[in-house]
Structure 1
Amino acid sequence: MKNFTITYIVVFFMLSIPKTMAAQVVISTPSLGFSQACASASFNTYNISFAFSPEGNLGSTNQFIIELSDASGAFSNATVVYTSAQGAVTTSPATLSFSLPTDTAGQSYKVRVKSTAPAATSTGSVSFPAYYKIQDTPFSINNLIETGVYCSGGSYLLTIDNPGTGDNDSPLQYPSLTFNWYKETSPTTSVFVASGNTLSVNQPGTYFAETNYGSCTSNSFSNRVTVSESTTNGTSTINSSLGNPYCASQGSTTLSAINGVSYQWYKDGVEISGATNQMYETNETGAFSVDIDLGDCSTSASIDLDGIGFTSEIDVTEVNMIEDGETLTATVTTTASSPEFKWYFNDTLITGATANSYEATKTGNYKVEITQTVGCDTTKEFQFSVQTAFPNVSDIPNLISPNGDGINDTWVIPQEYVNGANATVTILSAQGEIILQTNNYLNNWPENQLDFKSVNPVYYYVITTSDNKTKKGSITVVK
């Protein structure tokens, strides 16, 4: 009986040896198909290759697993980033692909490969930088205000704007991200200053922030802010959340000032009651300003807010003089989207005049309306007049109204007395004082504004022609 027992144990041990040997497999250190992993929503696939031996020792249910270390290269809390299907990989060497988790950020990650049947684990790969660029668009700091001011001996706090609104995809929405701050040393170079969500600045210069994606290139960077030490006349700028000009039909825009202790806002030079915060919301246009208390000193800022939503210019003046037979071409340039143009002559729409330019052939009053038809539906207009410097008038007028409206602003007399006709024109005040005397009158009196209040002054003229004929009369000036 004793011999039978010994024989049974020996047989059992001998039978178990092949089974133990068949369960062993060795996996090589994985080889990386990349030098750094810079993942994003548009790209997140990375390859590794490895060998295993012997191939025949793999069980039919075996799965290969790729594990990603932490940012320091440790596998104590490894993350599984890939698992093959059972029995899918049977030939060595093998190449597998994996994707990075969205919170990946560091310079010393490693990967390793494990098998399940039999269980085996490779050594870790060489370390590599790995970042998932969960936010990869420009963002704003300092409320998009281009300047900052600090008092002598003090500092100015730059912050990343949060939350992101409108086009501002704030990276602060993603808690896993960290940030680096830089100071410009030239238009194309900069130096690292510090890391963090904010930066306290006590040296003049231009600063900006970047999301820390290590050696990976990225579009996640901020606007530039130029910070200076406050002076007696130091000023900063104001930012409009809807831009400037802005589309008033979209609602109110938020005006933002730089960081300070207290504020007082003004519109057109008048204090706005209760407007004492860093931001002021308005749907009005005009000249806005703010006084900013920085603690040990103060500064101010201003903005001329335009609610049209686009800019336009016209290349003619309000009053334009032409000779008989001449024409005047007026051209409008605009940033309006898909603009429409309407031209008017003496307040009557000119049929067919829909281009951005118009050739005026008649004297009179003109107007052009520019309407933006895409986006902000708003209209801007320009008015101008076309006059003949020496019109063929038949009578000498006895009344003028120099009020700047383009009508009877100057004393315009027949062509036989002006511009080379060699006629002497004399204008006298009611007291007999000579106001103007010339032998080449240009229809341009009065050239300067006449100062009077309630009584319409009367002047007198004497015109002597080249053949010694004389014309006399009075000129009444009205508002």
Structure 2
Amino acid sequence: MKKSSSTYGLLVLTLMVVILGASTMQAQILNKPTAAPNPNYGSSDPWTAACASSSFNQYYVNFTWNLPLVNSNNEFVLELSDANGNFGSPIELSRVSDKNTVFDFEFQFSVPNYVRGENYKFRVRSTSPSKTSPASDAYPMYYIDYNSPLLISENGSGSIPSGGTIQICDGGTVTLKPHNIPNAGTYKYNWYRSGTLLPQKTESITVSTSGMYYVELDYGSICSGSANTLSNTIEINTGSSQGIAINGSSNVELCPGDPYTLQANITGMGLTYTWYKDGTKVSGPTLEGDSFAINSNLVGFEGSYEVEIEGPSACKERSAAVSVQSAGSFEVALNNEENIVLLPSQNKTLSVSTTAASPSYQWFKDGGAISGETTNTLNISEVGEYYVTVTQNGGSCSVSPKNSAVTTVVSPNSFEFVIAYVGSYTSCENTDATLSLTTINAVGDGGAKTNVTSDLQSSFSYEWLKDGNTIGGETSKTITLSDHGNNGNYKLNGSLDGFNASSNTLNVKLVVNQALTISTTGTVLCEGSEPIVLNSAQSLEGETFEWVKDGTVVDTSSESYTVSEVGVYQLVIRTNDCPLTSNEVTIRAFDESLLVLDKPQELIIIEGETMTMTASGADSYEWFDYNSNLVSTQDFFGFQEEGQYLLVAHFGGCTVSRVITVVYRDMFAIPNVITANGDGINDLWILPNTYSRDQEVLVTIFNERGKEVFSQTNYENNWPQSTSTFNKSSMIFYYKISKGGKSLKQGTITVIK
């Protein structure tokens, strides 16, 4: 009968297992993994660099191994080195358990989002038996987590210069930096000047040489271009200062009509000139426009004048200012308020100040001159609009008279008050509040209002009202409330010379200045345990209240509340104007991870010494020895003898158990000779348990040429993995044992075959 090809293959495989597996001298050979094509894209070419991103992150490596078979519970684990090709803390990329009879297969993996470098390597580790393949060749691997164009600006300010040009003067420098990338300091960069790659890899670059500057993220020699991060270009120009200035005095006084021209001190150099008055451009930019004529006939010609130049090999530069003033100008200032309320039988005095030389005065009321009022003051007793005309009779220039501002004098029909909260106030959050008069308005014909606060606030008499009732003793323009019993509606009344004024109304709600506390019989909820009950420290009789879970009302009638679900609980009493809210009680679901031990459950101790383990997270603890005797109820216990111990931690009605295994530390020395001849005696390099099977301890072995041949954390006393790797009868190897980057032990191993 003709057998199928699969049946034939199985017979051959079985025969190989019988032949090769019969010899205890033979061991599995794990070959180094290699990059493989992606079968989902129909390509036959393996990848040469991994440029991964959120939109593409699927890669394959090929792995082969040789008989004999691994154990049935074996798993093959694909591991990645660090960016320098070291496996001190390998990254697990993939794990398979269904390839224990497949000698040639592919691992699929994704690049972790923190991987960036040129020299990553792979290796494959089997778990049963424990063996590790040689490291692969080095590959560039980058996770491209930012793939948008960068934007650069001076000092990363975010302000890109107009035209993309920055000028540096007199040997100065400028710092360029990207401003639109988060976590910018975690990347490396490629900076370019006019197409030439610069050596700097930093986030910012300080330059003093002219050229076209731009940057991209450094995702390596292959991945950088595909990331699309090339930035905008900033052109750096260099030049020198010319020392621009305006000739003549820095303070110029002109009479109206006097001609005057401002002249720059630099001319004839092909420069462009821009003239400014009070910071605003008034002329230019004009080639060779090195002068500016001031028209003193124009109103407002006075001001501060500057000139700015720019041009080839010259820095943009602005001069110091020249102040140009009118020789005959003067000012008139009003000494009183512009709005005045005049009460019946009341008099007021108006006055002005002036800088005019030998001034004369004429006062006006409602546009008409007041006979005989020719000084800088005026006594008034009537409503109206008043101003004064000031004439300068001295000085070098003839100038026009100038009017003062108008003072409006009114007689009110009524007054109104405006009151407001002083400082920060929020209803039902403050424990005190201050209210105060802020504005007094005189109300005239047609409802027109004039603010007369500063003039009259000290003249009124005041009384405060709460809910329409006068508050005894509160007769100032301010009131302070500091008890929730004072909650209510407040307003302020006042009187002056037969006028009565009233304010707006403000509502005050102050919180009760006391704490509402709830307690609980437990905080961990588990099946079968005693119920958790919440209780109030304050009696709830006669109160309107709510038990609240995660912001939702769950009960409004029970003075104590029995918890049936995890969540955050509070009690709210609503009988007062403002709700009184308790502390929060968080009820958690039972989780064994709540128990935390400060040491591993497998302890290695030195015989005759004590090692203390401390537990945390539970309500109480029980420690039992290897004979099931209760030895402690503290949160810690000191171990002195070998054996298995039991810790029982109580969380209310819930318990968590942990078995603690204690062994004595091996005291034998690290061996420096092994006989790898396959006789089962001294074939492996066995380390004391101080250094073996510890995830933080790295064991590295080098051959006589210094090449790394083995590197493993959590060393399982499994080197060498095969005797066939020794081609001489006696070979010397070097080992190094380290933890956290610090060397613990190093020496030699002689392998005799």
- Structure 1 length normalisation: TM-score? 0.41
Rg: which structure is higher?
A: 2
Larger proportion of strand: 2
Report which structure shows greater RCO (CA 8 Å, sep ≥6).
Answer: 1
